[in-house]
Structure 1
Amino acid sequence: MSENTTNYKILVVEENYDDFLFIQKKIVKRLALSNVVRAQNMHQAWIEISNAPFDIVILDITGLALSAADAVSEIAKLSDISKIIVISSYANPLLENELFHLGIGDFILKKKITYRAIHKSLVHAVQRSRMLASIRETQKQYDDLFHLSPLPMWIYNVETLRFRNVNGAAERKYGYTRKEFKKMTIRDIRPKEDIRILEKALEFVRSHDRLFASGIYRHQKKNGEILTVELVSNIIYLDGTKHEFVLANDITEQLHYIKAIEEKNKTLQEIAFTQSHIVRPPLANMMGILHLIKDVDLTSADGQQLLEHFVSCSKELDRSIHEIVQKASRK
């Protein structure tokens, strides 16, 4: 879009009407379709901004009853501070630095206002405001991912080991409030006997500038309960300081289920072994005796011996079956 067809809504806070006309003329020369509104004082400015949003607020601080910083702060309560362009009749480097530190879009001396200068300042302020809005939206999305995640997450300082931030899921899982977490270090959620394991892991983290890692560790809740957690972590830098972002997945119950399944499989293996090595021999003997009985007189000595052997095998089979039933019931 060309500069002459760009449509901005601009509020000019200017007590002097002639100065307002001067500024308006400079704006519409380059931005002909822009809607330029005048507020004679801070009270009118407050009303205008409350009623409708503006792309840019041009604030003349010359002769204001409020200090420049206070005037900017008042407008910033209703409008993004990066949209504010301050103009003044007097040069004041210290004040200029103070206002830029607050986050204003630009600072222009009245005597330096030209078509080109005002156009450049307006476009820069609008683009900067949109860029900052996009950054804030992205930051909000990441904050939402962090704080609304169902899995515990935290960020800690790699040197001090203190928690910098934790999400709600971490509070619920470990039983500490966010305020309590910020007074703690990551040592405080480890069982005492596992501190050596933690120190070894920290040596590895401290020796790398970039590191994506994962592992399974034991953690301890506020009530003393021990958890087995799978940690996924990544090194990040905040305010120039090395931190680690950590996501924790409680796998305690999962491991209990796996252990129970393994024990059940072991029982089934033992039963299978019993069936093939203990049950099968007496059953095979009984089948063999039944085959021989067809051709033997049961009243004879051989017949009586076969019957006694058959009874002995049946008792052995009964004992084996009883053992299998007892073993299955115990599990």
Structure 2
Amino acid sequence: MDEKSYNFLIIEDNLGDFILIEEYLTENILNPRLTRAETFLSAKKILEDKANHFDIIFLDLSLPDLSGEQLIVGVLELAVGTPVVALTGFSDLDFSIKSLGLGVSDYLLKDELTPIILYKSIIYAIQRSKFVDQIQKSEKRYSDLFQLSPLPMWVYDLETFHFLNINQAAIAHYGFSESEFLSMRIHDIRPEEDIKLMEEAVADTRKGIELKPKTVFRHKKKNGEVIFVEATTNPLVFNGRSSVLVLVNDITERLRYVNTIEKQNETFREIAWIQSHVIRAPLARLLALVNLLETEIPETTEECASLIGHINDSSLELDQIIRDISQRLENIVSIQKNEA
């Protein structure tokens, strides 16, 4: 005996059928709580009351005010995720299939109904509803992560190359509208000369060869601007199609910064070379002349000796200044290279 608490809404105009369903339920469920509605309008009133919560809705497909497909659609719109089990006295295979397609959890014939069949249908419908709810929540989490990502993301078909899904960041960054993206192939955002490289990468993906993380490609925006991006890809099945999820990071500005730093470094190296070679060459000659004066003209006046000494000291001081500047330039080049 199932001791769980169940709330059932039974939409049934026939009192005898309602009593029979009640008896069948009590054979396997200890204390089922039943609410009955005899017409669609009365059921509508019950379902619109937010205070009511039901685990299962049993629906007779022939009510005084509504029947068939219209009745199913109307109840499903009101049920809002509550499993609906259709009950009928007529065997119609085509309509039973159509009913399941509309969203009912099960389709039971009253003449073939037994306590165990009814109980199994309840358990199946509740478990199926939980499973569907989990799938929907998982899909919503994926959709939220996809759409709320600050980086451009899209899904493309591995066979046709067509875009299948695109997030808002990609729409904003590339300039194409969603409808434009979904009518395009991934070829359309590549420079012509890069398409062969792109097709080779896709061919590797088809073979199961993973793309190296943060592989750099060139992409083309709607306005014709060519950008450099790091691409990360993951294969997945999207709407039954073999597809690839792509996340890209525009590194164009970073590369421009690195190129600027490299040019600055080259300039600094040229300055350091000029200081260490061009400027220091005449300075070295000046120091040699001072040394020559000190050695070749030993007998000089005190005033002359003092003057030679000042020239020598100034030359040595200038030499040290040039060395310091060269060292600092080398340090700047080294720091900028590490930052880049």
Residue of 16, 21, 29 corresponding to 2:14: 16
Structure 1 277/84 Cα, relative in aligned 2: closer, same or farther at 3 Å? same
After TM superposition, the structure 1 stretch with the greater mean CA deviation from structure 2, 46-55 or 147-156, is 46-55
Amino acid at match of 2:142: Y
Do the aligned partners of 2:3 and 2:31 also contact (CA within 8 Å) in 1?
yes
Q: Equivalent residue of 1:108, what SS?
A: strand
TM-aligned CA deviation for residue 277 of structure 1:
2.5
**Where does residue 227 of structure 2 map in the other structure?**
227
TM-aligned CA deviation for residue 210 of structure 1:
6.9
**Where does residue 79 of structure 1 map in the other structure?**
79
Q: Equivalent residue of 1:176, what SS?
A: coil
Amino acid at match of 2:12: E
After TM superposition, the structure 1 stretch with the greater mean CA deviation from structure 2, 18-27 or 85-94, is 18-27
Q: Equivalent residue of 1:135, what SS?
A: helix
| 1:147 and 2:166 aligned | no
TM-aligned CA deviation for residue 11 of structure 1:
0.7
Structure 1 293/33 Cα, relative in aligned 2: closer, same or farther at 3 Å? farther
Distance in 2 separating the partners of 1:294 and 1:254? 57
Give matches, 1:102-141, under 5 Å: 102-141=102-141
**Where does residue 271 of structure 2 map in the other structure?**
271
After TM superposition, the structure 1 stretch with the greater mean CA deviation from structure 2, 174-183 or 33-42, is 33-42
Give matches, 1:1-331, under 5 Å: 3-51=1-49, 52-63=52-63, 65-80=65-80, 83-206=83-206, 208=207, 211-214=210-213, 215-294=215-294, 296=297
Do the aligned partners of 1:176 and 1:222 also contact (CA within 8 Å) in 2?
yes
Do the aligned partners of 1:13 and 1:45 also contact (CA within 8 Å) in 2?
yes
Q: Equivalent residue of 1:23, what SS?
A: helix
Q: Equivalent residue of 2:79, what SS?
A: coil
Amino acid at match of 2:16: D
Do the aligned partners of 1:72 and 1:81 also contact (CA within 8 Å) in 2?
no
TM-aligned CA deviation for residue 85 of structure 1:
0.5
Do the aligned partners of 1:75 and 1:81 also contact (CA within 8 Å) in 2?
no
TM-aligned CA deviation for residue 268 of structure 1:
2.5
Structure 1 199/42 Cα, relative in aligned 2: closer, same or farther at 3 Å? same
Distance in 2 separating the partners of 1:209 and 1:61? 51
Distance in 1 separating the partners of 2:209 and 2:55? 41
Number of residue equivalences: 311
Long gaps (5+) in structure 1: none
TM-aligned CA deviation for residue 66 of structure 1:
3.5
Q: Equivalent residue of 2:151, what SS?
A: coil
Q: Equivalent residue of 1:279, what SS?
A: helix
Q: Equivalent residue of 1:136, what SS?
A: helix
Distance in 2 separating the partners of 1:129 and 1:201? 41
Percentage identity across aligned positions?
A: 35
Q: Equivalent residue of 1:150, what SS?
A: coil
Do the aligned partners of 1:10 and 1:58 also contact (CA within 8 Å) in 2?
yes
Residues 60-85 of structure 1: CA distance to partner in whole angstroms, max 9, x if unpaired?
A: 11355534222121111122467010
Amino acid at match of 1:95: F
TM-aligned CA deviation for residue 32 of structure 1:
2.4
Amino acid at match of 1:277: H
Amino acid at match of 2:19: L
- Divergent runs of 4+, >4 A: 209-214, 297-300
Long gaps (5+) in structure 2: 330-340
Residues 295-330 of structure 1: CA distance to partner in whole angstroms, max 9, x if unpaired?
A: 638999xx9xxx9xx9xxx9xx9xxx9xx9xxx9xx
Q: Equivalent residue of 1:78, what SS?
A: helix
Residues 148-182 of structure 1: CA distance to partner in whole angstroms, max 9, x if unpaired?
A: 11111111122222111101001000001101111
CA root-mean-square deviation: 3.1
Residues 46-104 of structure 1: CA distance to partner in whole angstroms, max 9, x if unpaired?
A: 11111123211110113555342221211111224670101111211111111122232
Amino acid at match of 1:230: E
TM-aligned CA deviation for residue 266 of structure 1:
2.2
Distance in 2 separating the partners of 1:137 and 1:75? 23
Amino acid at match of 1:42: F
Do the aligned partners of 2:83 and 2:129 also contact (CA within 8 Å) in 1?
yes
